[in-house]
């Protein structure tokens, strides 16, 4: 069964057009708004009845629209993943948006952001492999396991390249890893990083994670080493730096981190924020289209078989009805497939007992990826 979860943003409620019209054309309404503002000011901003300020300059909210596809943002250092989603949602005026895996503010690189119907495919990206390039500074361990934290242990020792390489096989394959104290792991309903900020030390249990590849790329004389790692879901690169430093006896923390792969999304798919903003400005003046920045919804489904159906069967699936699979062209496999009709994504479905059962139906009406940005162009 497909897990029916998706990270989707909540679009703000649309403004009431009738009330907006009254504010623009009715002097009585303007006076009423001013009276309410004056009353609120006298009560103070903490009054529970003070819920909203009158709209400045009577400017209407921008209309939200249906936008469907993926944008792989090359997230800049210093920006949170939540803020990045909000920025892209505003640029595209999208009704729904969500990201496929948090990237720390101090990290840069690939942050796949799903817009519209692409939010239904977020779990497939989150379950995929990730690749990171990161730099470890030796000699200090910090409570956050990165440069933001407080120094907790120090050492004058510095490891040799041979000593580092000899240790890497112990951190390859399925290993037990204790998440950082400053992590999003929940402890009795609260995030570990919230407890850590309050000064509490919590005992986080080791979890199995898979490291597919871990290599030493550079080892300089400046007390730093550069690594590349390809890992599975739930791996903390900061914890790798912490644990390697402890075993070597020199301690260590992450001082630079970049994500270069997330599931099917590669570094070549990433778009810097400045480029997106420039494209938005050109689109507003009629010189381009934001569709050029979108990858198709089905890009997230690269590892899932595709199954084409007829228009008659597509109509049944769109209504949530199962379709019998028969004839010599019927697939003899079982499991999850994504269904297309006339080359267009229709649904995620399960094959079982000779039936095609829809689990997620897509409605791709609105702005979608331009024809130039399809999977064939990414090979």
Give the active site residues. 104
Residue 165 CA, chain-centre distance (Å), reads 32
Contact partners, residue 99, CB within 8 Å, separation at least 6: 7, 81, 82, 84, 85, 111, 112, 113, 114, 122
DSSP state of 263: T
Contact partners, residue 39, CB within 8 Å, separation at least 6: none
Q: How far apart are CA 357 and CA 193, in angstroms?
A: 41
Tokens 């198709």, located at residue: 296
- Cβ atoms of residues 228 and 133 within 8 Å: yes
Contact partners, residue 214, CB within 8 Å, separation at least 6: 168, 171, 172, 227, 228, 229, 230, 240
Q: Are strands 173-177 and 207-219 parallel, antiparallel or unpaired?
A: antiparallel
DSSP string, 108-151: EEEEEEEEGGGGGGHHHHHTS-EEEEEEEEETEEETTSBTTS-E
Exposed/middle/buried for 104, CB within 10 Å: 0-12, 13-18, 19+? buried
Q: How far apart are CA 365 and CA 308, in angstroms?
A: 20
- Cβ atoms of residues 241 and 134 within 8 Å: yes
Measured CA angle at 20 (ends 19, 26), to 5 deg: 80
- Cβ atoms of residues 358 and 320 within 8 Å: yes
- Cβ atoms of residues 279 and 268 within 8 Å: no
Q: How far apart are CA 254 and CA 243, in angstroms?
A: 11
Q: How many Cβ atoms sit within 10 Å of the Cβ of residue 150?
A: 7
């Amino acid at each position: 069964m497909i897990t029916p979860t998706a990270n989707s943003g909540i679009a703000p409620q649309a403004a009431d057009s009738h009330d907006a019209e009254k504010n623009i054309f009715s002097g009585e309404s303007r006076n009423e708004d001013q009276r309410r503002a004056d009353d609120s000011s006298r009560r103070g901003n903490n009054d529970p009845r003070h819920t909203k300020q009158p709209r400045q300059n009577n400017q209407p909210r921008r209309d939200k629209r249906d936008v469907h596809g993926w944008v792989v943002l090359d997230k800049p250092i210093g920006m949170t993943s939540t803020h990045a989603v909000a920025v892209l949602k505003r640029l595209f005026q999208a009704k729904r948006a969500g990201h496929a895996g948090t990237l720390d503010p101090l990290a840069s690189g690939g942050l796949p952001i799903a817009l519209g119907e692409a939010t239904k495919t977020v779990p497939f990206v989150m379950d995929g492999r990730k690749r990171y390039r990161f730099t470890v500074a030796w000699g200090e361990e910090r409570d956050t396991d990165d440069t933001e934290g407080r120094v907790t242990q120090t050492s004058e020792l510095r490891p040799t390249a041979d000593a580092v390489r000899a240790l890497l096989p112990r951190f390859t394959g399925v290993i037990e890893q204790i998440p950082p104290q400053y992590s999003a792991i929940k402890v009795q309903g609260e995030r570990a990083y919230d407890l850590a900020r309050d000064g509490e030390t919590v005992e986080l249990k080791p979890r199995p994670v898979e490291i597919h590849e871990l290599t030493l790329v550079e080892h300089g004389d400046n007390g730093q080493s550069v690594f590349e790692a390809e890992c599975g879901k739930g791996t903390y690169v900061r914890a790798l730096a912490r644990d390697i430093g402890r075993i070597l006896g020199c301690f260590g923390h992450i001082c630079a981190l970049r994500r270069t792969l997330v599931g099917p999304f590669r570094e070549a798919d990433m778009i810097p924020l400045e480029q997106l903003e420039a494209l938005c400005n050109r689109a507003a003046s009629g010189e381009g289209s934001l569709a050029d920045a979108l990858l198709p919804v089905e890009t997230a489904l690269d590892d899932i078989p595709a199954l084409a159906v007829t228009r008659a069967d597509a109509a049944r699936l769109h209504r949530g009805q199962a379709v019998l699979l028969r004839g010599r062209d019927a697939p003899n496999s079982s499991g999850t497939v994504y269904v297309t009709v006339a080359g267009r994504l229709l649904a995620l479905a399960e094959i079982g007992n000779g039936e095609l059962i829809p689990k997620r139906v897509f409605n791709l009406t609105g702005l979608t990826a331009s024809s130039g940005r399809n999977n064939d162009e990414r090979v």
